[in-house]
Chains A and B, each alone.
Chain A
Amino acid sequence: MSESPTTAIDIAAAVRDGRVTAAEVVETHLAAIDAREAELHACNAVLADEARAAAGRGDAARAAGATLGPLAGVPVALKDNMCTRGIPTTCSSKILEGWRPPYDATVVTKLQEAGAIVIAKTNLDEFAMGSSTENSAFGPTKNPHDVTKVPGGSSGGSAVAVAAGFAPISLGSDTGGSIRQPAALCGVVGLKPTYGTVSRYGLIAFASSLDQIGPFGATIADAAATYNVIAGHDPRDSTSYAGAMATIGAAELAGDVSGMRVGIISELVGAEGIADDVKRRFTEAADALSAAGAKVEETSVPACVYGLSAYYLIAPAEASSNLARYDGVRYGLRIEADNITDMYTQTRTAGFGPEVKRRIMLGTYALSAGYYDAYYGKALKVRSLIARDFAAAYEKFDVLLSPTAPTTAFGFGAKTDNPLAMYLSDVCTIPSNLCGDPAISVPFGTGDDGLPVGVQVLAPALGEPALFRAAAALEGSAP
């Protein structure tokens, strides 16, 4: 054959047509991993044996005349906070080291049913808490465009897996920007779908009311194809959306934005810390949409600026409870001690890294007697205000636009001593999580340092069709 296909859509088509075997596809990607994994450390585990076995089963099924799925033979990398039966799932934490889940996450089952092949479990900030993947207990992941820079986080490993060609698609989870921000920093597409459209069953919780699984892809079409596979109602997740969900097809991917009303969120473009080169690329992106026929205007979403404050009370509060179960009794790490209270304390103290401890303590404080109303209770009301302001904006606009991250990829250690500075890198991505709305980061050129810049498209809940339409237009006009 002439040239091996690289996108998920092309690979699946080639495997279906018999132009390439799943086994060949897997070997190509394992070779790519071999070439750069030691340098990048994107993976907590490379599942070479499992992937080869799965490819063999897929090829045998095709030979037997089976109908192949939409992701037939497509390697996929999974953030290591999604449960895979019998395969260690660590959350990049010492506290879960060695744990082998006795079940698969719903997204894993859906991907496998679509013919995809899990090739790696990827590195993340411990329990998805971070924006640089530096908070992994197993060491940081490096940005493939410049290995002295972070890949962003918390789904840094999954972003890098796609950017470095380890897999054409991967899954991440996004609680405050953990898919979109690393997508921007690594120059790939990253989607946070509408809350409830992708099942959380088997996703190890950080903050349940904010967590959402979504895809990374090198192209908008691959992200859409992956979204189509993983979205859908799941009776095992009470917060799973039960109504009709759009399938993203050719109509959306054509990227026709003529007449589309696009609002630029002035509070986010003007936010403290947005770098000039990021702003310039953002303006070019807005102009490109305008040139393609969209009606682009600045608009105000006033409460948006309070997103960070609300988020850094709500997310840690939920996390403090979600992470209580890591107590050394049923699975994972245990530090033996004379009595159960000491065992709990020593296990958790040894098992969690500093950022996880910081957030557990922050959340515990926000919920504790005497402070609940002032912190957590108030944050929930601010969340209402933010949702209200976004709803008002969506009466005038089909989609909204902002930078994804304030800067291009930053250096290792640049923000690790100042948690608040690290948190500020999520300022543009957090509001969508608070509202439950979808948002996507699309690569749009590079900054002054030559590193990728991302532009974020936001849409109201279940607005994925408009979101993909605008994203496809941006992809088509990116420098």
Chain B
Amino acid sequence: MTLPDGWVMVIGLEVHCELKTATKLFCGCPNMFGDEPNTNICPTCLGLPGSLPVLNENAVELAMRIGAALNCDILASTFHRKNYFYPDMPKDYQVSQYDEPINLNGRLDLPDGFRVGVTRAHIEEDTGKSTHVGGDGRIHGATHSLVDYNRSGVPLVEIVSEPDMRTADQARAYVTELRAILVATGASDGRMEEGSMRVDANISVRRSETDEFGTRCEIKNVNSIRSLGRAIEYEAARQVGLIEAGDRVIQQTRHWNEQQGRTITGRVKEDADDYRYFLEPDLVPLDPSPEWIASVRSELAVLPATRREAVAAATGADASATAVATVVDLELDQLVLGAVAAGADGRIALARASNEVAADAEGGRGLDVAAFTAVIAMESASEITATQAKTVLGELLADGGGDPEAIAAKHGFEAMDGSVLDSVVDKVIAANPNEWQRYKDGDAKVTGFFVGQVMKATGGKADGKAVTAALVARTKA
């Protein structure tokens, strides 16, 4: 779905990610997903009278890593209280960074080079979780709700982008890339399905001849990258429809309904937007030393974009190629780079890593570089065929290692002598004169038939490319 001609969509994203700390932001309760309800709770994260918060140093470290990875200025910052009543928030205020966030003025470059501005990335605490009883588990129509405070106080960083994106694809690419960065830096596990990464999208539309932004709506409850694209396209089209029908867009929060494939208006609260922010008097300012900031920046993991460039340079592929992204995402890039450094063919190494090895990424990350290099070397030297190489790799992964040459020998894989192949090809042609005539007449579809027949006759030992070459040579004879 695209917008009608003459319309532009404007997208800004707010991504909340839970930090991968052992404990919560302000207390020593475990930061753990999926535990028994209300077992990771203490006076502080339950908001009991008299309790006080103390900031988790590691949460600050991880927030600074995010800032460093997004090229932000890392600054002295403060915490505020955002006041509103809601049952999943035990103090009825959320501690968050407001006008002095820790990270400001960053950017994120998409794989295709498009640059998205990052306004800020600030620290705040997560809320508890409500389960709605009755009404199909949804908030509307429920008879009552049940609250679990295990998640209350889990450290979050909210990453706010500039409204720089113009297509749903860019939004998807931004979230994909951001997720990869969060995982690479160790700041978050980026699991959207578990809610450890949550995306809200601010969307507006405008006519292409103006520069003025339209009224925006905020879309919440988007639970996957795929849904994000659908929600954005639906919402932008809805807004264009409204304007073209002579209506106007009302600024509001809307919720994405995955089943219905549309956004639904949220309830407008009478006292919305009066959060009475003020400095949290139970906490003191956060002012990381220049040495701390410098060490976070210098010890930052190599980011996905840099790793993709390294893989592209080593294999001759384009840095934005899917195969390159796959090996980096699955952390198989060291395997590929190691093999190339050891002399393996980069193109084949990338192909095998992004397909056969990627199918068992966990095994692949443990795969011995020398063994992988040996397989690629055998294939590129035509000592074994591509099909055979896949078989050898499969066994290496399944067994957690082994000697590639021994595996090849065990299966009887060996380079087929050219004269043996010639005689098999001749026999197959002789046995199938009609098909051969069609092949000679240029019917490309019968190529597969001949390759298959030769494979059958050789027990799969023939190299498909060599068979094709032999067939072509015979049409010219």
- Residues from chain B with a CB closer than 8 A to the CB of A369 are 273-274, 276
Tell me whether A325 and B276 are in contact (CB under 8 A): no
Which one of A157-165, A204-212, A299-307 is at the B interface? Answer: A204-212
Interface range for A? 35 or more
A204 to B90, CA, bound (A): 15
Residues of A84-113 contacting chain B, CB below 8 A: 89, 91, 96, 99, 101-103, 105
A325 touches B49 (CB 8 A): yes
Interface flags, A304-333, vs B, CB<8A=1, else 0: 000000000000011011001101011100
Residues on the B chain within 8 Å of A330, using CB: 46-48, 90
B92-A327 in contact (CB<8A): yes
Q: A72 at interface (Cβ–Cβ under 8 A)?
A: no
Whether B54 sits at the interface, judged by CB under 8 Å, is yes
Bound complex: CA A82 to CA B278 (Å): 25
CB nearest neighbor in A for B27: A236
Q: Which residues of A contact B283 (CB under 8 A)?
A: 238-239
B276 contacts across to A, CB distance below 8 A: 320-321, 364, 367-369, 372
0/1 interface trace, chain B 33-63, chain A, CB 8 Å (1 if under): 0000000000100111111111100000000
With the chains together, A368 CA to B275 CA distance in Å? 8
How far apart are the CA atoms of A105 and B274 in the complex, in Å? 33
Closest-by-CB residue of B relative to A235 is B54
Contacts A208-B281, A367-B276 known; A324 to B92 CB distance under 8 Å? yes
CB pair A367 B54 closer than 8 Å: no
CB interface residues, A 42-100, toward B, < 8 Å: 81-83, 89, 91, 96, 99
Asked if B50 and A376 make an inter-chain contact with CB atoms under 8 angstroms apart, the answer reads: no
**Distance between A211 CB and nearest chain B CB, rounded to angstroms:** 9
Give the residues from 155 to 211 in chain A that come closer than 8 angstroms, CB to CB, to chain B.
200-205, 207-209
- Alpha-carbon distance between A91 and B50 when the two chains are bound, in angstroms: 11
* B87-98 interface bits toward A, Cβ cutoff 8 Å, 1 = contact, 0 = none: 100111100000
Chain A residues contacting B274 (CB-CB under 8 Å) are: 368-369
Whether the Cβ atoms of A325 and B91 lie closer than 8 Å is yes
In this assembly, does A237 line the interface, its C-beta being within 8 Å of a C-beta of chain B?
yes
In the bound complex, how far is the Cα of B52 from the Cα of A103, in angstroms? Answer: 13
CA distance A206 to B283 in the complex (A): 16
CA distance A344 to B47 in the complex (A): 16
- B83–A105 CB distance below 8 A: no
Whether A237 pairs with B52 at a CB distance below 8 angstroms is yes
A147 at the interface (CB under 8 A from B): no
Please tell me if B213 contacts chain A, counting CB pairs below 8 Å: no
| A340 at the B interface (CB under 8 A) | yes
Note all chain B residues with C-beta closer than 8 A to A331. Answer: 48-49
**Contact B49–A101 (Cβ < 8 Å):** yes
Q: Which residues of B contact A239 (CB under 8 A)?
A: 281-284
| Distance between Cα atoms of A235 and B55 in the complex (Å) | 11
- Inter-chain CA distance A327–B48, complex, in Å, is 12
Contact indicator B278/A376 (Cβ below 8 Å): yes
Q: Which of A89, A209, A367, A376 contacts B49 (CB 8 A)?
A: A89
CB contact between A321 and one of B49, B145, B278, B284 (< 8 Å): that residue = B278
CB contacts (< 8 Å) of B277 on chain A: these are: 367
Contacts of A105 in B (CB 8 A): 50
Contact call B52/A236, Cβ cutoff below 8 A: yes
- Determine the distance from Cα of A207 to Cα of B276 in the docked complex, in whole angstroms: 16
Name B67-115 residues within 8 Å CB distance of A.
81, 83, 85, 87, 90-93
Nearest residue (CB) in B for A340 is B87
**Within the assembled complex, what's the spacing in Å between the Cα atoms of A309 and B213?**
44
Q: Does B147 contact A (CB under 8 A)?
A: yes
Contact B50 A82 (CB under 8 A): yes
Which chain B residues border A376 with CB–CB below 8 Å?
A: 278
Docked Cα-Cα span, A99 to B47, in Å, equals 14
Contact assessment for B91 and A200 in the assembled complex, using a CB-CB cutoff below 8 Å: no
* Binary CB contact string for chain B from 371 to 399 against chain A (1 if under 8 A, 0 otherwise): 00000000000000000000000000000
| Residues of A contacting B46 in the complex (Cβ-Cβ under 8 angstroms) | 330
Q: Which residues of A contact B83 (CB under 8 A)?
A: 320-321, 324, 367
Q: Of B93, B145, B281, B284, which is within 8 A of A324 by CB?
A: B93
Q: Let me know if B147 and A329 touch, CB within 8 A.
A: yes
Pick the contact of B55: A91, A101, A238, A320 (CB < 8 A).
Answer: A238
Distance between Cα atoms of A368 and B54 in the complex (Å) = 27
Distance between Cα atoms of A83 and B48 in the complex (Å): 10
CB distance from A341 to the nearest CB of B (A): 8
Q: Do residues B52 and A96 form an inter-chain contact, with CB atoms below 8 A?
A: no
Interface size class of B (residues with CB under 8 A): 20 to 34
Q: How far is the CA of A14 from the CA of B145 in the complex (A)?
A: 58
Inter-subunit contact B91/A238 (CB<8 Å): no
In the complex, chain A residues whose CB is within 8 Å of the CB of B91: 324-325
The answer to whether A321 touches B85, judged by C-beta atoms less than 8 angstroms apart, is: no
Interface residue from A202, A329, A344 paired with B50 (Cβ < 8 Å): A202
Chain B nearest CB from A424 CB (Å) reads 25
Most buried by B among A89, A318, A324: A324
Complex CA gap A368/B48 in Å reads 25
Complex: chain B residue closest to A199, CB-CB: B52
Give the residues from 272 to 307 in chain B that come closer than 8 angstroms, CB to CB, to chain A: 273-274, 276-278, 281-284
What's the nearest-Cβ distance from chain B to residue A158, in Å? 17
Complex interface: chain B residues within 8 A of A81 (CB): 50
Least CB distance from B308 to A in Å reads 42
A158 to B284, CA, bound (A): 31
Chain A minimum-CB-distance residue to B44: A236
B52 CB contacts on chain A under 8 angstroms: 200-201, 236-238
Bits for A385-403, please: 1 = Cβ < 8 Å to B, else 0. 0000000000000000000
Report the Cα distance A60→B55, complex, angstroms: 41
Q: How far is the CA of A89 from the CA of B49 in the complex (A)?
A: 9
B84, chain A: closest CB distance, angstroms: 9
Per the 8 Å Cβ criterion, residues 307-329 of B in contact with A are none
Q: Compute how far the CA of A239 lies from the CA of B279 in the bound complex, rounded to whole angstroms.
A: 13
**CB-CB under 8 A for A204 and B55, given A103-B43, A364-B276, A369-B274:** no
Is A327's CB under 8 angstroms from B282's CB? Answer: no
Is B50 in contact with A325, judged by CB distance below 8 angstroms?
A: no
B145, chain A: closest CB distance, angstroms: 8
Q: A324-B92, A324-B93 are in contact. Are A238 and B282 (CB under 8 A)?
A: yes
Within 8 A of B (CB), among A13-64: none
Contact (Cβ within 8 A) A321 B147: no
Chain B residues within an 8 Å CB radius of A325: 47, 49, 90-92
Chain A residues with CB below 8 A from B49, complex form: 83, 89, 91, 96, 99, 101, 204-205, 325, 331
Enumerate A228-266 residues with CB–CB distance to B below 8 Å. 235-239
Contact partner of A238 (CB less than 8 A), chosen from B54, B81, B87, is B54
Asked if B281 and A318 make an inter-chain contact with CB atoms under 8 angstroms apart, the answer reads: yes
Q: A212 to nearest B CB, angstroms? A: 13
Contact of B54 among A103, A200, A236 (CB under 8 A): A236
A317 nearest CB neighbor, chain B only:
B278
| Cα–Cα, bound, A341→B47 (Å) | 19
Flag if A204 contacts B278 (CB, 8 Å): no
Cβ contacts under 8 Å, A208 to chain B: 281-282
Asked if A344 and B85 sit within 8 Å, CB to CB, the answer is yes
What A residues does B145 contact at CB under 8 A? 340
Instruction: Give every chain B residue within 8 A of A364 (Cβ-Cβ).
Output: 276
Minimal Cβ-Cβ distance residue in A for B269: A341
- Chain A nearest CB, measured from B33 CB (Å): 22
Q: Please, could you name 28 A-B residue pairs with CB atoms under 8 Å apart, sorted by A?
A: A82-B50, A89-B50, A101-B43, A101-B48, A101-B49, A103-B43, A200-B52, A205-B49, A205-B50, A238-B283, A238-B284, A239-B283, A318-B278, A320-B276, A321-B81, A321-B278, A324-B85, A325-B49, A325-B92, A327-B87, A327-B92, A330-B47, A340-B87, A340-B145, A344-B85, A368-B274, A368-B276, A372-B276
A201-B51, A372-B276, A372-B278 are known; give 20 further A-B pairs, CB within 8 A: A89-B49, A89-B50, A105-B50, A200-B52, A202-B51, A208-B282, A235-B54, A236-B52, A239-B281, A239-B283, A317-B278, A321-B93, A324-B91, A324-B92, A325-B47, A327-B92, A329-B87, A329-B90, A330-B46, A367-B276
List 10 tightest A-B contacts by C-beta distance, closest first.
A324-B92, A208-B281, A367-B276, A209-B281, A204-B49, A202-B50, A83-B50, A204-B50, A325-B47, A369-B274
